[in-house]
Chains A and B, each alone.
Chain A
Amino acid sequence: MKMTREELLYIANLASLNLEENEIDNYLENLQDILNFADIVNNAKTDGLDVTVGANEGKNVFRKDEVEIFEDTKSLLQNAEEKEQNMFKIPKVIN
């Protein structure tokens, strides 16, 4: 399948990534190579086969929904670039 420039920019936006002008041509070229290579999966005979989502047999793992208090808020917040009164600070989202 052919990846167009518009498609690449659309996908990059979905992934919340900006691409520089000089990156676009480079990505287009090598993503196309990779996709051409990946197309080989379509030669495999998979009629009637289930999909595998994990390496081990899928079974639900249940546990009680118990609250565990993590008290070390200081070490959680130490990684935030901007914080205020023990809270993460982000730009205003509601006008």
Chain B
Amino acid sequence: MDITNLTVHELQEKIKNKELTSREIVEAYNNKIEQKETEIQAFVTILGKEALEKAKEVDTKRANGEELGEFAGIPIGVKDNICTKGIKTTCSSKMLENFVSPYDATVMKKINAEHIITLGKLNMDEFAMGGSTEHSYFKTTKNPYNLNKVPGGSSGGSAAAVAAGMVPWALGSDTGGSIRQPASFCGVVGLKPTYGLVSRYGLVAFASSLDQIGPITKDVYDSALLLNIITGHDKKDTTSVEKGQIDYTKCLKNDVKGLKIGVPKEFFGEGINKEVKESLEKAIEKYKELGAIVEEISLDVAKYSLATYYIIACAEASSNLGRFDGIRYGHRAKEFSNLKELYKKSRSEGFGSEVKRRIILGTYVLSSGYYDAYYKKAQQVRTLVMQEFEKAFEKYDVILTPTSPTVAFDIGAKSNNPLEMYLSDICTVSVNIAGLPGISIPCGVDSQGMPIGMQLIGNKFCEETILNAAYTFEQEVKFRDNHKPKFKK
């Protein structure tokens, strides 16, 4: 039995039946990381030794009959923009290369309260800005299905680590597709919850009105389990909602009879790769076979979503990243003659080129003379996008699209053309603009064996609907039984 092939719910079962100890699980993952990290480059910080100590503690407590969380002793990987007390949180930036958070993010408090063991911090595009993880200051993570390809981004380290079996599950963050797109590229499951369902306290802010933390997992059941742990109202995040505790595994019924699925034609037009389109069409047929009612719809405002997203996200980023000034934390330039020079030099040295590009773009669209034409206009279009989704959800339970117009692309293919890189977010950004939940699950592979992702979008706080739709498809298609990463070039 390869422990690192098991899902979290399988690990949990084996711990319960005394077939596995936490120590054995963590050791298996440590070995896997040792074998694979050189080629995958998923981690910014590896906590193998500390994790093993914690695993031994959990085993002792369990043997003594002490009260433990349901997932005690199971390891997790955490995207490196989620604050972890006493452990570096770098955002894969030179700016925060040595930053050690003095507190835990709310999601980490919840993870730690379950006695889940943090195995390491995972690589990402700097400050979550990018779709390939090539914008990390430290390293470029590779796609486990083909080491010449990107894992997607910005949560590329999280998706690659889960796909490669280096962590059983991981936390990512999603501002415009940063959980779903890498999940799609790496053949795993990525869920972006409804805005407000998961606390953002301790998530280093990129675009506050769009950011959400969510699970990246091997299967849909694990996604529901991790969602159970991280959701809940938090007084430290004013945008967090009071919903009461829901058990998201209860909705997984393996039945979509009568489910109304809308397929927006705009997401299948120009720019969508032929094999991606064919794979999605097969998935649609599968849903019909399973008894769902599938109809083509029009989401006309989709054509404005990407531009709207980049205006709003960059505007918010330029404001959020203003805090990095080299004074209390973060990179400080060595030579300066006055305070303004200290700010400017520290920021110019600490931020990478993509982050600077977005700060400049954001400052531009917020500046006098351009505010109305770009920022205010984008905020109005945001209203329009939300209204169009509201209308669609009056008739349909789920909206089905590709997660990305293509499969994972070659490393270096888009790194010199920012606009082309932005276009790979075209299917995912609307979900963040409208604050909706979206899940990406693998629906097939292309002729080169690269995973293709399907995105299921739900109405606000209807995670249960999309989780069940995803689960039902997964039980039928059994992607994990048929496809494994090849770790080849």
Chain A residues within CB distance 8 Å of chain B: 1, 3, 7-8, 11-12, 14-19, 23, 27, 30-31, 33-35, 37-46, 49-56, 61, 63, 70, 72, 75-76, 78-82, 88, 90-91, 93
Contact = CB atoms under 8 A, between A and B. Distances in A.
9 contacts: A16-B322, A49-B380, A50-B380, A50-B383, A51-B380, A56-B195, A81-B331, A88-B327, A90-B339
A74 B4 CA distance: 39
Most chain A beta-carbon contacts within 10 A, residue among B241, B359, B382: B382
Helix, strand, loop or mixed for chain B's interface? helix
A61 B238 CA distance: 6
Contact of B418 (A34, A43, A91): A34
Given A11-B363, A15-B360, A38 B310 contact: yes
Contact of A34 (B310, B322, B363): B310
Contacts of A52: 379-380, 382-383, 386
| A-side interface mostly | loop
Interface stretch (B98-106, B115-123, B255-263): B98-106
B209 A54 contact: yes
Given A56-B241, A75-B102, A81-B326, A31 B360 contact: yes
Interface residues of B, number: 76
Given A30-B419, A33-B419, A41 B311 contact: yes
Interface in B201-228: 209-210
A55 B195 contact: yes
B307 A40 contact: yes
A78 B356 CA distance: 26
A43 B382 CA distance: 14
A84 B342 CA distance: 18
Contacts of B433: 55
Top 8 nearest A-B pairs (CB, nearest first) are A55-B435, A79-B329, A55-B195, A51-B379, A81-B332, A46-B380, A75-B102, A52-B382
A42 B332 contact: no
A19 B363 CA distance: 15
A80 B339 contact: no
B348 interface: yes
Interface stretch (B154-162, B274-282, B283-291, B367-375): B367-375
Contacts of B373: 1, 42
B419 A51 contact: no
Given A14-B363, A41-B307, A79 B196 contact: no
Given A38-B310, A52-B386, A15 B359 contact: yes
Contacts of B378: 38, 41
A12 B338 CA distance: 18
Contacts of B432: 55
Nearest to B365: A38
B342 A55 contact: no
Contacts of A19: 348, 356
A40 B422 contact: no
A17 B304 contact: no
A12 B360 CA distance: 6
Interface in B322-350: 322, 325-332, 336-340, 342-345, 347-348
A69 B471 CA distance: 46
A68 to B, nearest CB: 11
A51 B383 contact: yes
Contacts of B328: 76, 79-80, 88
Nearest to A76: B102
Contact of B304 (A41, A53, A78, A79): A41
B318 interface: yes
A14 B195 contact: no
Contact of B308 (A12, A16, A31, A41): A41
Given A31-B357, A55-B210, A90 B327 contact: yes
